[in-house]
Structure 1
Amino acid sequence: MVKKSILILGSFSSGALELQYAKNLKAQGWLVKCMDIQEPVNLIKNKNLLTKSIHFVYPSAYYEDLNKVILKEAALFKPVVILIFKGMELFPETVEELKNHCKFLCNYNPDHPFEFYSKGAGNSNVEKSIKFFDTYFSYSNSICEKLKNSYGIDSFCIPFGYDAQLLPIKKHESFITDQFLFIGAWDKEREHNIKKLADIDLQVYGPEIWAKKLRFKKQIKYHSKPLYEQKYADACLNAGGILNFLRPQNILEQSHNMRTFEVPGYSGLLISERTEEQLSFFEEDKEAVYFSEIEELKQKLKYYASNRSSAAKIKDSALKRSLKSNYSYKHRAELLTTFISNQID
């Protein structure tokens, strides 16, 4: 029997956070309808250089039709709950109008909602819409406190997690087994840090720009193949360790990112920049490896490269901690729905 209905607005590409919540809410018995609010815009803006230039100067021109479609769909569906992920494509007036088509309007923002540290992290639509939500969910406790203090809005922290249904498979591929991997997008700071590791056996997975940036670093092997879902989980298990360079906001907030839970949850060795939140989730040198400076990272990589049994013990302890502490998205979705149910029942 269908308990409640929910309309989820966000991105549904491979690896998207929205997919985890949609899947787990369906498993709980919710009637779930998903609308992609990024793909329709990307299809138009990426046609050619002219459309990209117009979007850069006046992005709202690509949002107008989308906002009309969303309002029409919400009016027809009449969900109990509307959950928006970030919402850069939604006008504030659209968000305000959506309140008339549901009982509870909420947002889960995987970035900072009003301090934008990089392109694509947010825009004025996101910041100006904050006040219209009944509750604003964030992965970070510090962001929740800022939302309450600066905007007077109800906020609730739900950390990132991992997909417990993805079971990693032991493989024997030479480019993964026992190698240290970095999996992620390029930016200048990450490039700077990775180039300092040129004397370490390191494999990099990510967009093609990495091939250009690392072309003179022969010790660092670049792979163009994307690692999502099963392949990503397999890599975590089989690799000697997964490097995690946090974004500037994560360092400032002393928070975490999606990889914080994915790597240990998929039986991997998390090697991450040290923050207060991560230390609370996984104990240092027992359930995860942390560093603050590149020289410290180098020392730890060299140590675990020659002490595989120590790394294996940490992997095992990290997975046990993930299971014991309910870090999966199944449990994250339960936190979300318990909170919402308490508000609307």
Structure 2
Amino acid sequence: MPSVLYLGQKSGTCLDRANALRRIGCMVDHIDPRELLPATVWVDRWTWRMGGHWFSPWAQRALQARLGFKRYHLCHVDCGEWITPAVIALLRRHARHVINYNNDDPTGARDGARFAAYRQAVPHYDLVAVLRETNVPEVKALGARRVLRVHHCADEVSHAPRPLSEADRQTWHSQVLFLGTWFPERGPFLLELIRLGVPLTIRGPNWHKAPEWAELQPHWAGGAIGGDHYAKAIQCAQVNLGLLSRENRDLHTTRSVEIPALGGLLCAERTPEHTAMYIEGQEALFWSGAEECAAVCREALADEHRRQRVASAGHWRHLLSPHRNDALMRTLLTAVDQIEAPAVLEPTA
């Protein structure tokens, strides 16, 4: 039974991955790196603007105190915006292997200096797992020893369908739902859908920042939600939009797997990765541009039987896919075992 030191947030998909390691039989010590740093919002603001490497001395001192004489088979660093080469050197005194998994686009431009420490640390990890094909050559250029390309995953527990009461259906019902954070390109797109007559509901944070807020606000039903509320909102929507982040260079996102995992109908932008994951028109609905999206939504809303058929087929396609956390963590553990073999690990799709 491998012992794992897991460095990552104790919430959201990061916590889901730590729990997946436990489900597949690992003994996990979970430390949130943010808890090692001063409890002030200025740490987060400085990290985004100047980089997390500035806080390396705090992280080293706190980790050394926490770890004592403990030893692990593996240290799994999730994200890594505060983990520098010096921190990894410390971790190597406690773990046989140190790897990184980053759910974001750490070699892209969207998040500014946030991942400065990550980029410095890349050559010091035994394995770097990335979510985008574009990340592979970029982390290699930074000196990565081994690179594994993986996909976003849903969680077997967090994204399992919930039983719904009539009160749930009334509370969370929507016709076309977008559940996600505001980004600059999303406001104009959703506003165009509204103008094209799509009965849209928006849930998620930071939408008040949108220049289009005055027109979007009547369609906004509240900020970030998680847990059962997140699951029920998706399950009770007739159509769930899957939008990408251009600056994050997305070709699929967590919603691309979480919506079908929950049994919701995925209606997402047509990309090579989406069309490889689901059969268009049978397991998910795809579009290119607001006009086609509006037309696809209207057709789906008009045909309940087809909505249910496509949503059910998408759910089963997901269950048969490897895009689930238990499978992801097994893949990472297998990759770690291969590090000890003479053969060099090649990136995989």
TM-score range, shorter chain: 0.7 to 0.9
Partner SS, residue 32 of structure 1: strand
Partner SS, residue 154 of structure 2: coil
Q: Which runs of 5+ in 2 are unaligned?
A: 342-349
Q: Is 1:227 aligned with 2:210? A: no
How has the CA–CA distance of structure 1 residues 280 and 220 changed in structure 2, closer, same or farther, with 3 Å as cutoff?
Answer: farther
What does residue 273 of structure 1 align with?
269
Partner SS, residue 4 of structure 2: strand
Q: 1:155 aligns with which of 140, 147, 160?
A: 147
Instruction: Check the 8 A contact 1:67/1:91 in 2, yes or no.
Output: no
Instruction: Check the 8 A contact 2:203/2:223 in 1, yes or no.
Output: yes
Instruction: Check the 8 A contact 2:81/2:115 in 1, yes or no.
Output: yes
**Superposition TM-score, scaled by structure 1 size:** 0.86
Q: Which runs of 5+ in 1 are unaligned?
A: none
Aligned residues: 335
Q: Is 1:113 aligned with 2:106? A: yes
How has the CA–CA distance of structure 1 residues 116 and 101 changed in structure 2, closer, same or farther, with 3 Å as cutoff?
Answer: farther
Whole-Å separation in 1 of the counterparts to 2:209 and 2:221: 8
1:312-345 Cα shifts (integer Å, max 9, x gaps) = 1110001111112243212222222222234358
Whole-Å separation in 1 of the counterparts to 2:133 and 2:45: 36
Instruction: Check the 8 A contact 2:8/2:15 in 1, yes or no.
Output: no
What does residue 315 of structure 2 align with?
319
Instruction: Check the 8 A contact 1:7/1:82 in 2, yes or no.
Output: yes
How much does 1:110 deviate?
Answer: 0.7
Q: Is 1:287 aligned with 2:283? A: yes
What does residue 202 of structure 2 align with?
204
How much does 1:217 deviate?
Answer: 2.4
How much does 1:167 deviate?
Answer: 2.6
What does residue 236 of structure 2 align with?
238
**Superposition TM-score, scaled by structure 2 size:** 0.85
Instruction: Check the 8 A contact 1:84/1:106 in 2, yes or no.
Output: yes
Q: Please tell me the root mean square deviation across aligned C-alpha atoms, in Å.
A: 2.8
Instruction: Check the 8 A contact 1:287/1:315 in 2, yes or no.
Output: yes
Instruction: Check the 8 A contact 2:22/2:28 in 1, yes or no.
Output: yes
How has the CA–CA distance of structure 1 residues 280 and 78 changed in structure 2, closer, same or farther, with 3 Å as cutoff?
Answer: same
How has the CA–CA distance of structure 1 residues 219 and 55 changed in structure 2, closer, same or farther, with 3 Å as cutoff?
Answer: closer
Whole-Å separation in 1 of the counterparts to 2:252 and 2:327: 18
What does residue 78 of structure 2 align with?
85
Amino acid at match of 1:167: P
Amino acid at match of 1:138: V
Instruction: Check the 8 A contact 1:44/1:62 in 2, yes or no.
Output: no
User: Looking at both structures, which has the greater relative contact order when contacts are Cα pairs under 8 Å and sequence separation is at least 6?
Assistant: 2
Whole-Å separation in 2 of the counterparts to 1:319 and 1:277: 17
Whole-Å separation in 2 of the counterparts to 1:218 and 1:57: 33
Partner SS, residue 103 of structure 1: strand
How much does 1:219 deviate?
Answer: 8.4
Instruction: Check the 8 A contact 2:8/2:78 in 1, yes or no.
Output: yes
Matches within 5 A, 1:1-345: 3-13=1-11, 15=12, 17-41=13-37, 43-45=39-41, 56=49, 62-74=55-67, 76-119=69-112, 122-148=114-140, 151-165=143-157, 166-172=160-166, 173-174=169-170, 176-198=172-194, 199-207=197-205, 209-210=207-208, 216-217=214-215, 220-224=218-222, 226-249=224-247, 252=249, 255-344=251-340
How much does 1:54 deviate?
Answer: 9.7
Partner SS, residue 98 of structure 2: strand
How much does 1:136 deviate?
Answer: 0.5
Pick which of 172-181 and 332-341 moved more: 172-181
Whole-Å separation in 2 of the counterparts to 1:156 and 1:128: 18
Whole-Å separation in 1 of the counterparts to 2:140 and 2:50: 33
Amino acid at match of 1:168: R
Partner SS, residue 80 of structure 1: strand
Amino acid at match of 1:156: L
Whole-Å separation in 2 of the counterparts to 1:280 and 1:85: 26
